[in-house]
Chains A and B, each alone.
Chain A
Amino acid sequence: MKPAPFVYVRAASVEHALEVLAEHGDDALVLAGGQSLVPMLNLRLVQPAVVLDINALHGLATIESHTAGGLRLGALVRHREIAVDPLVAACAPLLRAAAPWIAHPAVRHRGTLGGSLALGDPAAEWPACAVALDATIRLASRTGGERCVAAESFFHGLYRSDRRGDELLVGCDLAQASHDSVFSFRELARRHGDYAAVGLAVSACGRPGAWRTLRLVFFGIGDTPIRATACGEALAAGAGLAEARAQLEAELEPRADLWFSAQAKRHLAVHLLREAWRDLGHPDTGE
């Protein structure tokens, strides 16, 4: 199980990386943490002509407050840093809650936020969190400079995203959590560290029965993170759990995986909704 041969390029600067991508486009694959790409190389599931290693771009490995008061995360920020960083804990507690669910310590040491977002595995934690937090994904290219895409419109389909072959995902921006922000992160996995059978990331502002915003994003059930819009709107409008559940069941069209049918995934999604309902501070209705 050895990779097919490829040309290795270590990006010396973002500009250098963008040049390589401009030249090779989809024939080049970007190597960030490598925790998904290297297995795919080993398995020969991908056989790129060029592997572009961006690990030397230390400028992409930072977590900082950005001008608008939110959080700016570089693409090379590792899962473990998100798990322990105080700024993340303060500004985006959802990420802090989700980080321990990602695989295992050895993978969290290497795996990166940008890699996870760029790959867009539908069962992964970061894409769902990014959509739940209404994150802005920043993409750069030699010709187009930098552009921003809302996470919700970034994920197009199974391992397909808004990123063009000549673009590098350089990071993502999050708004500062407000005084009445609450969140919930729930995941069901067969074994500790496995990809989610079903997961749910929720970010809300306001209070039960009177949410200004409420974003429910399921993962592990479709080709992308799935935002349960109707269900969220119902809850924001003060609906009870039963109505929210009905909305959810109507709008979800889960995709079966190896171990769970679509029906089971829908059932588990409803269960997670119930848990999130409580996490958000709604009264326990005993349902």
Chain B
Amino acid sequence: MESTTDIEFEVNGKRVRLAVSPREHLADVLRQRCGLTGTHLGCEHGVCGACTVRVDGAAIRGCLILAVQADGAQVRTIEGEGNDPVMQALQQAFIERNALQCGYCTPGFLLTAAELLELDPDPSRESIREYLSGNICRCTGYQAIVDAVELAARRLRGEAGTDASVP
């Protein structure tokens, strides 16, 4: 049998202890062992961003970190962000602006966008495009995503209440 290593980490605020195989990357362990299937695998070589999760606060590729490396870390996935005001604003804006189609890339975009808005509450369209340039969306034209991040940022800054205008 393949040897395993015991790890203990915090996933969405809960302590989790698991015996993992060293070769399992974090995204697989979250999906298969923690049942958190909102973290998606689009390429498993670090290009598409669908597996983006936050480890100790930083948005990173879930497929490019071994689960054993997350020992002791705080991990947050899309499922754990429901009460975060930045994420809530982004989720609502993504729905309103139709910033998703198949939804496969969406958790990765949301987690990356949340990090952006924490660093820069008033990003330009250009800097939104740049910050999100490591995430592939194959369905939308990216424009609705940029619109949605802009809208969420405006709302978080307390501007532009509902903004009924639709692109």
> A residues within 8 Å of B by Cβ?
1-8, 10, 31, 34-35, 38-39, 41-43, 51, 53, 55, 80, 103-107, 109-110, 191-193
Known: A38-B64, A41-B23. A106 touches B5 (CB 8 A): no
Q: Which of A5, A8, A41, A109 contacts B60 (CB 8 A)?
A: A109
Q: Which of B13-70 contact A (CB under 8 A)?
A: 21-25, 28, 44-46, 49, 52, 58-61, 63-66, 68-69
Known: A5-B21, A8-B68, A55-B69. A35 touches B59 (CB 8 A): no
Interface residues of B: mostly helix, strand, loop or mixed? mixed
**How far does the alpha carbon of A55 sit from the alpha carbon of B66 in the complex, in Å?**
12
Q: Which of B45, B112, B134, B135 contacts A43 (CB 8 A)?
A: B45
CB–CB B21/A106 < 8 A: no
CB–CB B65/A192 < 8 A: no
**How far does the alpha carbon of A8 sit from the alpha carbon of B69 in the complex, in Å?**
10
- Tell me whether B163 is interfacial, beta carbon within 8 Å: no
CB–CB B46/A39 < 8 A: yes
CB–CB A39/B65 < 8 A: no
Nearest B-chain residue to A51, judged by Cβ: B22
Chain A residues with Cβ below 8 Å from B135 are 104
> B residues within 8 Å of A by Cβ?
2-3, 5, 21-25, 28, 44-46, 49, 52, 58-61, 63-66, 68-69, 112, 115-116, 130-131, 133-135
Chain A residues with Cβ below 8 Å from B134 are 103-107, 193
Q: From residue B135, how far is it (CB to closest CB) to chain A in Å?
A: 8
CB–CB A105/B131 < 8 A: yes
Nearest A-chain residue to B52, judged by Cβ: A106
Given contacts A39-B46, A105-B59, 10 further A-B contacts (CB under 8 A): A2-B24, A3-B25, A38-B65, A39-B45, A42-B63, A104-B134, A106-B59, A106-B61, A191-B133, A192-B130
Chain A residues with Cβ below 8 Å from B24 are 2
Chain B residues with Cβ below 8 Å from A191 are 133
Nearest A-chain residue to B5, judged by Cβ: A8
Q: Which of B44, B46, B66 contacts A8 (CB 8 A)?
A: B66
Q: From residue B49, how far is it (CB to closest CB) to chain A in Å?
A: 7
Chain B residues with Cβ below 8 Å from A41 are 23
Nearest B-chain residue to A192, judged by Cβ: B133
